[in-house]
């Protein structure tokens, strides 16, 4: 089954290009320790999922959308330089003038205006697929095109393909500001995406920046470095793997992901943790064991750590036997992160020996899903992107609660003074619309708080 | 890619504009080695085949550069300045059809510029603008350059602003206004300025006020550096922001150094819209992020670095110095004290070899010393453009929407009142058809309410603002 990727805005296009790079390199790399049939099955599955074979080589199953041309032309030319894959000649849509960081401009003006042309491009990609596995929309939350127009396009996809899975990858901006109205744009994006998307996979620029600085030891971090890390994390989720008890590579990754992770429409925010992450030079000298990796990952989940350094080992899951009402406050006191569902994806040597029992502990989860259902594992003996062993945790839990609360708080403060609101009403988003969005997000925050 | 049109009005506007076109050509020449007419060039220039004589339809898109024509409209009510431009080395850049001139000037009288010449030339102005707009694929912005103290730039310039809003309501209007200094030799400059201010408040999207005194200070600072002869501190002459070296123009004229600064500021402002980078910042993003309330659109600009040293080694520490300098008073184009007033919003446009981590590090470092309004504590808009300006490896333009412009306006108001109380020189204005005393009182009250809006925001400074009560959701 194939996934059609829609890259929206500058951020979406820049990360998307890195993602296809990672996937292409991964499926073509030689792996000595795996039998050839295994390698081939992996490559074939990955190629079919992300690329279509044309006369001139592999063409990414992607639609590139932006309101101004500079980023798209740069993205397409960089991809072509790799020699291994490229974007389709007719797969991009752009206009002359950007959205000006204005969500209302992206959503109310550019979206409807260009809906037909963009959906046309999507339809052409979909027709190239033997079987459509779903849509992967990549965008940022802070700007105007990715956030505003991206939300509109997601809605269109939902209307046009009501039975397909839609996964949105959303990049959260730096807390100290990239765009002044980023909090407004974020609130409007998340509240609307909740209605049309199946799940929202989140990356925070602050977190990825720290990973680059502390784990990968990059001195002068550029957006390219940040995007590479995000692409690595996404690739580790989307590349082929075996779901439990199945002997063929999963045909329906998005469907399986939704089934495991999103059991309730009120809880759609997914976070990613991937270990190990380190610079190439350090990698050569490091050896990992599955028990070690899994122990770290489990503690990262429980203590809400964003990366494998600075984990608070003091935080422990509560002892069982507490009634649900008390459990909430108890957990809060312990700074314990309650999960709704977790998905482990393990890639690399000796993966069958890895014991994921630690994640089946009922104390980690809310009471209304049995751990057998709430926790799942995918595995593959194929190593991923230079890492001999790599473990990824996709988690639907409280760990986005604090950043989300922060964003809503700041946006609300700004809204109280009505600053910048005239820029939005000019394009069709009224104060009522703002209030609706705030209400929706407070609802989401409340739901996650009471997990 | 979008296009912008520059409308230069009056002596000051045309002289600054002239420097702008010269430096723009220089910048594109240093980037565009192959002589191809690319998207970046098209934002300010048309590619024209002058051999063909079929008038307006000789634009060429793409391919080699034939003859570049500026997307500009030059307006002046006396011929001296424009004639000089047409006889100088830049004459080929301008089309004779882009000019609107008269003979006698406006006599430093806003009313003459706005009411008399406005009505006389309205049709011709509209015609000219329409033609310039038709040559554009996607017109995004009008840049108006003028001064506030005189008659043409101030009066006719603001009249043109009105016309732009009427005829092209969806196109942004960014105005670069040169404000008169206290020792201005034009006695009626306070009248002209206040009358013009009202138009700017009501009809411009963004205003970049410039003060001559600040420009003079920067020029002196650079000249001092060049002549101090300190060892290891030799400056690359062509890299200073006051230098026109490498441009088309030959001899430097008196105001050229100062005007080059303003021209450089405009080039930096539009750099991210023209060239690529890892975090683009288009012109509409500037008007979106820096204008929280419709009337408060006056932005304080500061440029760094002023020059590069001849010594090529640029350690990272100097990069941080660039950020600190942007917030020092020596680099501002208007006299004001932002650090002791309230920031409403701030934009940093970085060019050259600077990465996001450098940007973040410096924002973290500078934030504690800069007072931001309570509802915009992280009010930073950032842009990274990969192409540096000529002669530099990196540069920074900081645009701040800050209440520190208030003293400038208050001073203007006071100078206005001094004259107005005595009704001095008023008869020159009231003699003009269409001009009444109410024009003066309305302009005055517009300025007063603008100052009052800034006052209200200033009042919140330093107060510990409690967070607004959040919505309560029933669980």
A102 to chain B: closest CA residue:
B288
Looking at residue A321, what is its pLDDT? 52
Chain-centroid distance, C-alpha B283: 12
pTM, full prediction: 0.89
Which of A118, A268, A131, A108 has its CA nearest to residue A200?
Answer: A268
A177 → closest Cβ in B279, B290, B378:
B378
Span of A135-139, A256-260, A300-304, B180-184 with lowest mean pLDDT = B180-184
d(CA A133, CA A49) in angstroms, rounded, equals 8
Q: Which residue has 């940040």 as its token pair?
A: A226
For testing contact with chain A, the best of B136, B284, B400, B402 (most A CBs within 10 A): B284
First-to-last alpha carbon distance for chain B, in angstroms, is 49
Distances from the Cα of A166 to the Cαs of A133, A140, A360, B239, B372, in angstroms?
9, 16, 28, 52, 40
Could you say which DSSP state residue B267 is in?
H
Query: pLDDT tens for residues A394-428?
Result: 999 898 999 999 999 999 999 999 999 999 999 99
Q: Minimal CA–CA distance to B200: which of B133, B232, B264, B153? A: B153
Nearest beta carbon to residue A175 from set B290, B356, B378: B378
CA–CA min distance B394, chain A (Å): 15
What are the distances in angstroms from CA B284 to CA A100, A423, B297, B395? 5, 11, 13, 21
Position A176 confidence tier, pLDDT thresholds 50, 70, 90: confident
Partners of A191 on chain B (C-beta within 8 Å) are none
Q: Which residues contact A383 (CB under 8 A, 6 or more apart)?
A: A31, A33, A347, A348, A349, A389, A390
Which tokens in the block code for residue A276? 């190990």
Average predicted confidence (pLDDT) for chain A: 88
Q: pLDDT value at position B186?
A: 86
Tell me if chain A has a CB within 8 Å of the CB of B2.
Answer: yes
How close is the nearest chain B Cα to the Cα of A394, in Å?
27
CB atoms within 10 A of CB A367: 12
**And the tokens for A375?**
């926790």
pLDDT of residue A330: 57
For A419, which residue in chain B has the nearest alpha carbon? B292
pLDDT digits (tens, 9 = 90+) for A50-103: 999 877 788 999 999 998 888 899 999 999 998 889 998 889 998 888 888 999
B-proximal residues of A, 163-202, CB under 8 Å: 174-181
Of all residues in chain A, the percent with pLDDT exceeding 90 is: 53
pLDDT score of B314: 47
Per this entry, what is the length of chain A? Answer: 451
DSSP conformation letters of A94-151: E-SS--TT-HHIIIIIIHHHHHHHHHHHHHHHHHH-SSEEEEEEEEESSSSIIIIIHH
**pLDDT averaged over 10-residue windows placed end to end, chain B, 475 residues:** 91 92 89 83 84 59 81 90 86 86 88 91 93 91 93 93 94 94 84 94 94 88 72 60 66 78 92 85 90 94 76 59 87 87 92 88 90 87 90 89 92 92 91 90 94 90 72 71
In what helix (H) or strand (E) does residue B73 lie, and over which residues does it extend? strand B72-76
Q: How many alpha carbons fall within 13 Å on the CB side of residue B32? A: 19
What distance in Å separates residue B382's CA from the closest CA in chain A? 5
State the complex-level ipTM. 0.84
For A93, the token pair is: 């849509």
Cα of B276 to nearest chain A Cα, Å:
6
Compute the C-alpha angle B79/B83/B84, nearest 5°.
Answer: 125
Percent of chain A with pLDDT over 70: 95
At a CB cut-off of 8 Å and minimum separation 6, what does A139 contact? A8, A9, A11, A12, A146, A147, A150, A168, A169, A170, A171
H helices of A31-68, where? Answer: 36-50
pLDDT value of residue A361: 85
Contacts of A179 in chain B (CB under 8 A): 285, 289, 381
Could you say which of B140, B290, B363 has the minimum Cβ distance to residue A176?
A: B363
* Chain A CB contacts of B289 below 8 Å: 101, 179-181
Asked if pLDDT for residue A323 goes beyond 60, the answer is: no
Neighbours of B76 (CB within 10 A): 25
């Amino acid at each position: 089954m194939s996934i059609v990727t829609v890259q929206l805005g500058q951020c979406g296009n820049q990360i998307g290009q890195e993602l296809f790079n990672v996937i292409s390199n991964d499926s073509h790399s030689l792996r000595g320790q795996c039998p050839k049939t295994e390698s081939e099955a992996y490559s074939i599955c990955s190629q079919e999922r992300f690329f279509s074979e044309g006369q001139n080589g592999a063409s990414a199953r992607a639609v590139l959308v932006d309101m101004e041309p500079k980023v798209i032309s740069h993205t397409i030319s960089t991809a072509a330089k790799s020699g291994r894959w490229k974007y389709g000649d007719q797969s991009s849509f752009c206009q002359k003038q950007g959205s000006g960081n204005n969500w209302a401009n992206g959503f109310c003006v550019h979206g409807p205006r260009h809906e037909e042309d963009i959906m046309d491009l999507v339809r052409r990609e979909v027709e190239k697929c033997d079987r459509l596995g779903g849509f992967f929309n990549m965008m940022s939350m802070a700007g105007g095109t990715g956030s505003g127009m991206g939300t509109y396009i997601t809605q269109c996809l939902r209307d046009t393909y009501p039975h397909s899975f839609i996964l949105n990858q959303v990049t959260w901006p730096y807390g100290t500001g990239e765009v002044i109205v980023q909090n407004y744009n974020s609130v409007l994006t998340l509240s609307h995406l909740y209605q049309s998307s199946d799940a929202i996979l989140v990356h925070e620029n602050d977190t990825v920046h720290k990973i680059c600085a502390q784990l990968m030891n990059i001195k002068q971090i550029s957006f390219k470095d940040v995007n590479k890390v995000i692409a690595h994390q996404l690739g580790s989720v989307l590349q082929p793997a075996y779901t439990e008890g199945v002997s063929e590579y999963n045909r329906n990754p998005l469907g399986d992901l939704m089934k495991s992770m999103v059991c309730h429409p009120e809880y759609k925010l997914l976070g990613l943790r991937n270990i190990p992450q380190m610079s190439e030079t350090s990698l050569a000298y490091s050896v990992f064991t599955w028990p070690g990796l899994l122990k770290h990952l489990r503690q990262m989940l429980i203590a809400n750590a964003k990366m494998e350094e600075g984990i608070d080992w003091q935080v422990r899951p509560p002892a069982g036997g507490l009634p649900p009402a008390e459990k909430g406050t108890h957990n809060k006191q312990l700074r314990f992160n309650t999960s709704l569902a977790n998905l482990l994806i393990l890639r690399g040597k000796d993966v069958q020996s890895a014991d994921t029992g630690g994640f089946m502990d009922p104390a980690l989860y809310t009471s209304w899903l049995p751990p057998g259902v709430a926790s799942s594992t995918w595995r593959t003996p194929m190593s991923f992107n230079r890492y001999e062993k790599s473990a990824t945790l996709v988690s639907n839990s409280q760990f986005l609660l604090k950043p989300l609360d922060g964003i809503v708080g700041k946006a609300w403060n700004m809204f109280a003074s009505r600053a910048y609101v005239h820029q939005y009403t000019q394009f069709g988003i009224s104060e009522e619309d703002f209030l609706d969005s705030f209400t929706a997000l407070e609802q989401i925050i409340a739901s996650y708080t009471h997990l | 890619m979008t296009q912008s049109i520059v409308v230069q009005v009056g002596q000051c506007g045309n002289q600054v504009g002239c420097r702008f076109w010269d430096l723009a050509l220089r910048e594109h020449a240093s980037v565009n080695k192959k002589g191809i007419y690319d998207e970046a060039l098209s934002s300010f220039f048309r590619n024209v085949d002058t051999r063909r004589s079929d008038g307006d339809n000789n634009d060429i898109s793409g391919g080699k550069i034939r003859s570049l024509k500026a997307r500009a409209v030059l307006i002046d009510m006396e011929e001296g300045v424009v004639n000089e431009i047409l006889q100088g080395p830049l004459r080929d850049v301008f089309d004779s059809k882009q000019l609107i001139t008269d003979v006698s000037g406006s006599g430093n009288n806003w009313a003459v510029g706005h009411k008399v010449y406005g009505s006389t030339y309205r049709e011709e102005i509209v015609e000219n603008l329409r033609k310039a707009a038709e040559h554009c694929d996607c017109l995004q912005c009008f840049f108006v350059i003028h001064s506030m103290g005189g008659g043409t730039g101030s009066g006719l310039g603001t009249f043109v602003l009105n016309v732009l809003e009427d005829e092209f309501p969806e196109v942004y209007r960014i105005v670069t206004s040169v404000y008169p200094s206290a020792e201005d030799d034009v006695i009626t400059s306070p009248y002209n300025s206040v009358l013009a201010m009202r138009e700017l408040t009501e009809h411009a999207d963004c205003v970049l006020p410039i003060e001559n005194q600040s420009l003079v200070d920067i020029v002196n600072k650079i000249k001092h550096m060049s002549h101090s002869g300190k060892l290891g501190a030799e400056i690359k002459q062509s890299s200073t922001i006051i230098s026109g070296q490498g441009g088309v123009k030959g001899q430097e004229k008196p105001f050229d150094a100062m005007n080059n600064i303003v021209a450089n500021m405009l080039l930096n402002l539009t750099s991210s819209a023209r060239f690529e980078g890892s975090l683009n910042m288009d012109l509409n993003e500037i008007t979106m992020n820096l204008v929280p309330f419709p009337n408060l659109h006056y932005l304080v600009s500061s440029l760094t670095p002023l020059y590069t040293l001849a010594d090529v080694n640029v350690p990272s520490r100097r990069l941080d110095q660039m950020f600190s300098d942007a917030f020092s008073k020596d680099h501002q184009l208007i006299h004001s004290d932002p650090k002791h007033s309230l920031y409403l919003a701030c934009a940093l446009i970085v060019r050259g070899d600077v990465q996001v981590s450098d940007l973040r590090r410096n924002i973290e470092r500078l934030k504690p010393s800069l007072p931001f309004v309570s509802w915009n504590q992280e009010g930073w808009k950032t842009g990274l453009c990969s192409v540096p300006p000529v002669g530099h490896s990196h540069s920074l333009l900081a645009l701040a929407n800050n209440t520190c412009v208030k003293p400038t306006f208050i001073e203007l108001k006071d100078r206005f009142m001094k004259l107005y109380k005595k009704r001095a020189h008023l008869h020159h204005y009231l003699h003009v058809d269409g001009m009444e005393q109410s024009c003066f009182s309305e302009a005055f009250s517009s300025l007063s309410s603008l100052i009052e809006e800034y006052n209200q925001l200033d009042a919140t400074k330093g107060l510990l603002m409690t967070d607004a009560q959040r919505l309560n959701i029933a669980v």
